[in-house]
Structure formats: C-alpha cells, structure tokens
Structure 1
C-alpha cells in the first residue's frame, strides 16, 4: 500500500510542480507593491460600498451597480475585520493566483506537465494579469471562475456522470454573477464543443447547464439593463481597440509580441484528433478569441466593450503559446536538452523585458486618479467649517474614501448621505434649496473633477447646472489649486456696491471673505469650467 502511494506521488509530482510553481510566482508578483498608498475611483467605490451594512448594499443595488452586487457582498465580509487597501486588493491577488494555477492545470490535463508549467508562468508574468491582480475590483476573480469553469468543462465532457456537469454549471453561474459579461464564456465553450465534435449526450448536458446559468443570470441582466447609463462613457470600438487588446494579451513589447504570435501560429496547425476529444487548441482558441470578438463587434454599434470585461479570455493565449513551444521542441532534429528549463528560461526573459512595465504599474500614478492625494490636498487647503461644493456629485468620492482630509467641512449640496440614500455619492438638494444655501455664504470652496472645469462639459442634472450658474453669477474666483484628479477653487462673493449718501463714496454691501494663500492665482472672474 505504501509503495503504491509512493509510486503514485512520484508520478504526480511533475503535475503538482507544474501547477504550484506558477501559483507561487503569481503570488509574489501580486503581493509586490500591493499597498500603493492610494485608491483610484473604482477601488474607492468598492471600498465605501463594501463597508456599508448588507441592507444598505441591497438598497444601493436597486438603483446602481447591480452588476457588482455579489462582489460587494463578498468584499463586505472581507473588509469587516480590518478595512484597508491591502485587504481590499487581497481577493484579487488570490483570484489571479487561482487563475494561474487553473491555466497550468488546463495545460497539464490537455497536453503534458511542461506545457502547463510554461502556460501558467506565462500567464503570471503578463502585465495585464499583474495589473488586475492589484485592483480592488472583481475582474481577477472572474478570470479565476472562468478558468475553473473551463477546466470543469474538460472533465465533464469526458464523464458520463451528472456530478461534473453540476459543478460546471454552478461555477459558471457564480462567475457570471460576479460580472455578467462572463456570460460570453458560454459562447466560447459552445465553440469548443463544436470544434471537438462531441456526441449528442455531451451537447444535451451542456445545454442543460447553460440554460441553468442563463436562468440564474436573467434577473441580474434585467435589473442592470435599467442601469445602462453607467456605461454611457464607453465609446465605439474599431481596429485600434483590437490592436490594443492584442498588446495587452501578449505584452506591449514587440520583442515579446512577435515570438508570442509565432508560437500561437505553430499551435494552430491542423491536428488529427478523435471526434469528441477536447484538444488544447479546441479549448484555448475559442476562449481567447470568441468573447473579445463578440464584444468588440457588438460595441462597434452599441458601446459595451472595455478590456477588463474580457480579462478572463486571456487564459487562452498562454495555453496556445505553450502548445506552440511544445510543437517546436518536439520537431527539432535533435531532442532539446532540458526542454523544461529552456522554456522556463524563455518565460524568465519575457518577465525581464516586461519588468519595467510591471514596476511602473505599482505606482498610483498609473491609475486614472489617486484619491489619497486628493484628500491630502484638501487637508492642506481646507479648514474645519469651510463650506464645500462638490462638482459634480461624484467628486465627493475622495471624501468618502479618505474622509480625514475633509473632516469638519460643510458639504453644502448634500441632502441625504450616500449609505442612507441608496446611491454611490449621496442625494443632493434640489436647485431651489441649493441656491438658498449658497445665498447665505460669503465664500465657498469648489472641489471639481477635471472634466467639470472644461467649458465643453454639459451637466445632466438641474442641481449641477445650478452649481455652475450660482458660482458664475454671484462669486469670484480667488484661489486655485490643481492636482492630478482634482481642482480646488476658492470663490468669494462678488461685492455689491451702493452709494454712500454723505460723500458719494462706495462701500461694499457684503464683506468679501476668503483666504488667498501662496497658491493664489488671482484669476479673473469667470465660470468654473
């Protein structure tokens, strides 16, 4: 018995190493520089929503962000013991590590251990993987779920029992609930089954599982359709979108991209396989090609595409490259000595080429904004009791993520706080009430998002238009501080003069109160756009 176990362990050791080594590499890359010292806007939404109570989260999902509901509930449990930036990003690190191990396991199962090892390592060192491994959002977890569902599909297609199909359906459903764009995974899997020419019984089992996933996801799709304004910022796609995604999947350096594509081309050679056999090519090619192609095509007419929505498709690229490397190694005139180590060395060179990009990605400046820096500017410029106007309301996100910098200020427009209102940034007063509140002030600080200071910006709500109108008509800009991600402006009320009867001199009817510090620009009157 003992000898049999020893023989089994020795036989399984290469497979275990092929899976565990990439996982370890991914964990090191993911944990490296995890505490960047600042959240950007999307992470801040996760942070502030996940710290609400479960009823408050449920209230929010009825108006906005239903697509992230399951993720917010998961992060609520994660952040409950000790909220912080590291805890915020740790689930993504774990998701990226799990996805890496599952990619390696697919290579082991569909080909051989060294192919799994190469594919897993290549997935781990891809800059796109490392980027989303350090994002406090759901995309790395979605990638792990998609890779897990794909591995379960391979197992289920070779089984006659219902258990593997139930596991596949449950995993696919959970993945789609984390983000509904993962539903495109089912199209990739249908293409895989078609390429493999599986028998009718496999099609029946898969269709039943896919129908169950679709049924589970239907309520989320219906609710999120009513919240489609959230993706109004997306633009139509073109050839540039596809080129950018290709660079993200392989790495932006031509020194990496060209050999990567050559290896993928080698992997796509015609191969003789028995009908019903799921080959690596039949699994990996639809995974990497179908979801992006469908979303890019649809988004040419109705914008829905963003690279992060198809992160889960990345898993197919290193599998194909590793299969191409295996084909090259086995077709050499002489067997390649130490083929496994040669492949590992090649991946190490890829990592070295892309290391500067990975290092830059650990800086908060690589994200669209840094709300910690915004809060630091506010802490330096604002004083307790200062009246503050956020333009638009989403500029309040820095105060919600890092309240220390805004402690003691008076939020002039806020009517109902964000958690109680079931919104991301709070419910603001109507235009009439806002005008009355501003009429009592002799100065006000404007905390504006960068786009809100442009003249071309057209606010969509009456309250935002009222902010612009009142500040433009009744106040003069006295001071301005511009930092990446925010503009702070101090406005003082325009002086209104009336004649003094005895001497004919002018005197101000209201005092102009404000403080012009070292950063004052002395800007002329004008709208804050």
Structure 2
C-alpha cells in the first residue's frame, strides 16, 4: 500500500490520539488561518456600507431594549447577531469594526476546515482543504461583510469538529458542546439547522453504534427546542423575504460556481478532484470517513433548501455558506489520491500548496472585485457625502422611497440639523428599520408651513423612483404629488445609485 493507506485503529482509545495539534498538524491548521486573515483584512474598508450592512450598523447602535423592540416586528432572524454586535458598535461604529468579526469568523472556519481534514485523513489533506476554503472568492465576500453569515459558517464548522470528537468520545460533555454549537449557530441564522440533516446522513453512512445515535439525537432535539421560538416569530415576519423567487436552474448553477469556482478552470479542477475522492475514497482512519462527513455537508443543506423553496421561496446562496466547507474537504481528498503517488512527502505537500496558489491567481480578478466599493451594488456613502456637501442646518429633507432614510441612519452626521418632513416616529422609537411616516395630507401641511425661502432636499433612489413599482406604492407616489404641487425641482446631483435634489417653493 502507498503512503496514503493507513489501517484504521480499533474503536476506543485509538481514535482519541488522532488529530492532536502537534508539529505538522498545528502548522496545517494555522497556515489557512493566517491566509484567511490576510485576505480578510485586504481592502476591508471599502469606503461605504451597503444596504444589509447598514442595517447592522444602525440597529446595533441602538440600546438593547430598542433592539428587542425591533425584533418583535422585523429581523428576528438576525436578532442574536445584532445583540452580539451591540457592544462592538458602542466601542467604535465604523466599517472596520463592523466587518472585523466576520474576518475573524472566516479565519476560524478555515482553521476548523483544516482541523477536520487533519482528523479525518492526514495533516496535508487538512492543510489543502483549509487553504482552498480561504482562497474561495465567495468566502472572501462574506468574510468582509458586516452580517452574520461568516459567523454561521464558523459555528457550523465548530459543530462538525465537535461531532467528530463526540463520536470518538461519546460522553455527555462532548454532546452538550455539540448541541450548544448547533443551537447558537441556528440562532444566528435559522437555516443552519439543516446542518443536523447533513450530520444525520453522516452518522447513517458511517453505521455508528446506538450510543452515538442516542447522544446525537438528544443534542439535536435540544438544539431544535432552543430554535423553536425564533422559528415561530420569524415565520410571522416572512414578508421580509417576499422578494425571493422560486429557484431554478440558474440559482443552482450560481451556487455551484460560488462553492467550487467561480472561474471555469477552477470549477473543472474542483469537480475532477471531487470525483476522484468519491471514486477512490481515502481509507477510514477513525469512526468517520472523510467522504461521509464532507459530501452530506456540501450537498444535503442546499438540496433540502432548494426543494423547500419550490413551495416557499427562501433559497439564497448566502444562506448556505455554512455548507461550503464540504467542497474543499472533498477536493483535498482527491488531491491526496493523486499527489499521494509522489514518492516524497514534502514534494507532495508543496505541489498541493502550489496548486492552491495557482487557483488563487486564476481567481485574483474576482478577489479584487470583492474589494471594490460597488461590489455590493449600492453605495449609500456616496449619497450621504453628496448630501453633506449641499445641505445646511435648518434645511428640510424628504426621502423617496421611505427606506432611503436608511442613509441618514447609516451616516447621521451628514444630516445633523435637518428637519425630516415625513417622519412621524423615529426608527428606534417605532421598532422599525426606517421609522414611521406621516400621511400625504400631513406632509402637505408641513410643506405649506415652511418659510418661502426654506430649502427642501429630496434624497431619492434612482433605481426605483419613477418606475412602475414606485407608482404602485400609493403612499410613496402621493408624497411626490404633494411635493410637485407646492415645490419645483431646481437642481440635482447624481451619484451611483442615488441622487440629491433641491426643491424650492413655486
């Protein structure tokens, strides 16, 4: 047998010795962590937050009672994340602080991916898997975003690693840790509960003994019980994702490229290595085999969410980031089968690292695009900057549509001293993301009472105002009718995704 062939130890104490982080094992885990940290910190401050990040920024700056009030109305699925971010935003509310937890979480996931590979195969398999995870552009995207998805991926990776330990040592402590990890991960985003289905398939394929099923079942039930209240509340807030559509071929293809690409050459290489891993699996070195862990992790949650979304559209690639670690594990296993034929261990390790470096260079343009200010679509900082240069204290402002008030919530210093013409109750006081607005009749009264020389600024979204969708929004369209009846547009400054217009009395 070749160097990659090893005899599985007998059940019991033999398994406990596998994967201890000493020597090469420690280096195999720490190297992906360092690479992911470097990639995560590269270009972290893009000069603007985007819509979803801005929600984190403005909600996390509220008091805990105000956050709790919001969660009863909207965004309950992100509640734990907002509460975790609250003390950080109290220390320093800027882009770097906002995104740093995601960078650290992505680095932890890269290290845990490597640790799982080390435990299930050997150090170089873990090293390659962790590095492949770190250089994936889809990972970099969410490693540099102030949302919960990178933390969810880290929680899923930790739960997977704890599953391995619990199967090796079926004790109350390990199963309690596993159940806690799954519960917290699912509270960060409830679709992460699909991780339990992947782990269940892993145990089924591995034919584990009854005592393992008993421990896993208790942990799974406990995690689901913790998640149940959030599931009930978030179901009542499903209108938030009403914009999602039933997934089809394009969504499935996009997820495949996100997980294993995005370039065609890298995708082809990943699929070839995965096929090798599945056709010629690595020998089992413990209670679980690598394919039995990695394949369900990469396949089961996306498949279940895709099928469920045919009835209620909820399929989005970022909801499944926690499944991605299964792909580099499979690719690394395939690489082990091919590079393991080389006669010298160090040559094989170096060849694998070089292959990862080549994949990174092939995807460098995609990595660079992730660091551009426009990589997420909208750039509210540009609109806020334009407004800050034009307005002066005592002016009045109107937002079209109402959610454009988010810009003043993201960058409040740009709107200091302005009178918000349509605001009835602030976002924090009303327990909403953008505040409650007055009626069109009340807006007419406020405009009529303004001094003739008082300036009115309209901050508006160029992608929606004037469209069929906007005209169908009665409250929004009514605001424009009232404004046009009393005021006329004098000048407009356009920026990417938005505009600031000056209106004067007719």
Question: Which structure 1 segments of 5+ residues have no match?
Answer: 1-7, 494-511, 513-529
Look up the SS of the partner of 1:302 in the other structure.
coil
Residue in 2 that maps onto 1:500: none
1:361 corresponds to which residue? Answer: 370
Please say if 1:341 is aligned against 2:353.
Answer: no
Is it true that 1:303 corresponds to 2:332 in the alignment? no
Q: 1:417 aligns with which of 411, 426, 429?
A: 426
Q: Provide Cα deviations, 1:261-299, integer angstroms capped at 9, x if missing partner.
A: 100000112659789931110100011111111112222
Instruction: Name the SS for the 1:99 alignment partner.
Output: helix
Rg larger in structure: 1
CA distance in 1, matches of 2:409, 2:282: 59
SS state at 2:325 partner = helix
- d(CA) in 2 for partners of 1:79 and 1:460? 37
The 3 A distance-change label for structure 1 pair 221 and 10 is: closer
Cα offsets for 1:181-212 (capped at 9, x unmatched): 11111111111111112222222221111111
User: After alignment, is 170-179 or 186-195 more displaced?
Assistant: 186-195
Whether 1:208 and 2:231 are equivalent positions in the alignment is no
Equivalence map 1:147-158=2 (5 Å): 147-158=157-168
The residue aligned with 1:457 is 469
For the 8 Å contact 2:60–2:89, the answer to whether it is kept is yes
**For residues 375 and 282 of structure 2, what CA distance do their matches in structure 1 show?**
46
C-alpha displacement of 1:418: 1.4
Paired position in structure 2 for 1:380: 389
The answer as to whether partners of 1:375 and 1:404 remain within 8 angstroms in 2 is no
CA spacing shift, 1:227–1:290, aligned 2, 3 Å: same
For 1:355 and 1:392, locate their aligned partners in 2 and report how far apart those are by CA, in whole Å.
Answer: 37
1:140 pairs with one of 150, 153, 156: 150
TM-score, L = length of structure 2:
0.91
Aligned match of 1:402 in 391, 397, 411? 411
Map 1:103-182 to 2 at 5 A.
103-182=113-192
Asked if 1 retains the 8 angstrom alpha-carbon contact of 2:53 and 2:145, the reply is yes
Deviations 1:147-197 (A, max 9, x none): 000111111112231111100000000000111111111111111111112
Show the counterpart of 1:218: 228
Residue 320 of structure 1: which of 309, 330, 342 is its match? 330
Would you say 1:257 and 2:258 are equivalent positions?
no
For residues 276 and 25 of structure 1, do their structure 2 counterparts lie closer, same or farther at Cα, with a shift above 3 Å needed? closer
Query: Are residues 1:292 and 2:311 paired?
Result: no
Note the alpha carbon deviations across 1:212-246, whole angstroms, 9 max, x for none.
Answer: 11110011011111111111121221111111111
Question: 2: CA distance between counterparts of 1:261 and 1:454?
Answer: 46
Greater displacement, 318-327 / 399-408: 399-408
Residues of 1 paired with 2:43 and 2:198: CA distance?
34
The question of 1:76 aligning with 2:86 is answered yes
Residue 3 of structure 1 corresponds to: none
SS of the aligned residue for 2:398 comes to strand
- TM-score when scaled to structure 1? 0.87
RMSD: 2.2
* Counterpart check, 1:468 vs 2:477: no
Higher relative contact order (CA 8 A, sep 6+): 2
Aligned length: 486
The gaps in structure 2 that reach 5 residues or longer are 1-17
Asked whether the equivalents of residues 197 and 276 of structure 1 are also in contact (C-alpha less than 8 Å), the reply is: no
8 Å CA contact retained: 2:397, 2:458: yes
Distance 1:472 1:280, change over 3 A: same
Match of 2:503 in 1: 491
Residues 377 and 405, structure 1, Cα contact 8 Å, conserved in 2: no
- Aligned equivalents of 1:217 and 1:360: distance in 2? 36
1:370 CA drift (Å): 1.4
